Chains A and B, each alone.
Chain A
Amino acid sequence: DGGITQSPKYLFRKEGQNVTLSCEQNLNHDAMYWYRQDPGQGLRLIYYSQIVNDFQKGDIAEGYSVSREKKESFPLTVTSAQKNPTAFYLCASRRTRNSPLHFGNGTRLTVT
């Protein structure tokens, strides 16, 4: 079955540490996205990539970094520069601009 796999499901870190969230897809989609969701709120775009070796900042990129070395993979690093990293992180991909986003199951990050 094709889909998007995010790991881990839950992640706990101490303040000041960088942490990398994994996102892998086997849907053969070119475009991939990272969104952040805070409790009771909508989704905010962190980074997106339309093709391998290329990515663009979203609305809240500060304190985050990404890479897109392979079509299947779009990892997100939450750096110590991100002031409020505790949130639910969702990775998504889509086939074309006329297609909906397919979402992974998310990673819930808690930083204390």
Chain B
Amino acid sequence: ELKVEQNPLFLSMQEGKNYTIYCNYSTTSDRLYWYRQDPGKSLESLFVLLSNGAVKQEGRLMASLDTKARLSTLHITAAVHDLSATYFCAVDKETSGSRLTFGEGTQLTVNP
């Protein structure tokens, strides 16, 4: 059974600081996705990582994938309040028949 673990689950940051969210998964996969969810809202796609070593950047967020370590990171640079949200990673297992398994989510709060 595929397990996806994120840490930390809760993160409180000061504006302007950097931090990294980690996503570990238990079985072979080369497709990993990051999503953002604002309170009471649906999920919005942030990044699609499709190969070992993939790196994607959008604004203050950068995501990377290491399939050998079964690890993805979401790095936040110079955080701003607007980044406050819950961030989920999701893994598409190679033999799962097109189903995604989600991590528990990391609730990020950026304080002024």
Which residues of chain A have a CB within 8 Å of any CB of chain B? 31, 33, 35, 40-45, 48, 50, 56, 58, 90, 92, 94, 97-106
Complex interface residues of chain B between 10 and 53 (CB less than 8 A to chain A): 31, 33, 35, 41-45, 48, 50
Q: Judging by beta carbons under 8 Å apart, are A42 and B105 in contact?
A: yes
- On whether A45 and B101 interact (CB within 8 A), knowing A97-B31, A100-B48, A101-B33, the answer reads yes
Q: Judging by beta carbons under 8 Å apart, are B97 and A50 in contact?
A: yes
Other A-B pairs, 11, CB within 8 Å; known A42-B102, A45-B100, A100-B45: A42-B104, A42-B105, A43-B88, A44-B102, A48-B98, A56-B97, A58-B99, A97-B31, A97-B92, A100-B48, A101-B43
Range, interface on chain B: 20 to 34
Write 5 A-B pairs (CB below 8 A) sorted by A numbering.
A43-B102, A45-B101, A58-B99, A90-B43, A103-B42
Chain B residues in 8 Å Cβ range of A58: 99
Chain A residues in 8 Å Cβ range of B50: 98
The distance in angstroms between the C-alpha atoms of A105 and B43, with both chains bound, is 8
The distance in angstroms between the C-alpha atoms of A44 and B101, with both chains bound, is 7
Q: Judging by beta carbons under 8 Å apart, are A100 and B33 in contact?
A: yes
Contact check: which of A41, A56, A97, A103 meets B104 at CB < 8 Å? A41
- On whether A42 and B88 interact (CB within 8 A), knowing A98-B50, A101-B45, A105-B42, the answer reads yes
Which residues of chain B have a CB within 8 Å of any CB of chain A? 31, 33, 35, 41-45, 48, 50, 88, 90, 92, 97-105, 107
The distance in angstroms between the C-alpha atoms of A99 and B31, with both chains bound, is 9
Chain B residues in 8 Å Cβ range of A106: 41-42
The distance in angstroms between the C-alpha atoms of A90 and B90, with both chains bound, is 15
Chain B residues in 8 Å Cβ range of A99: 48
Chain B residues in 8 Å Cβ range of A40: 107
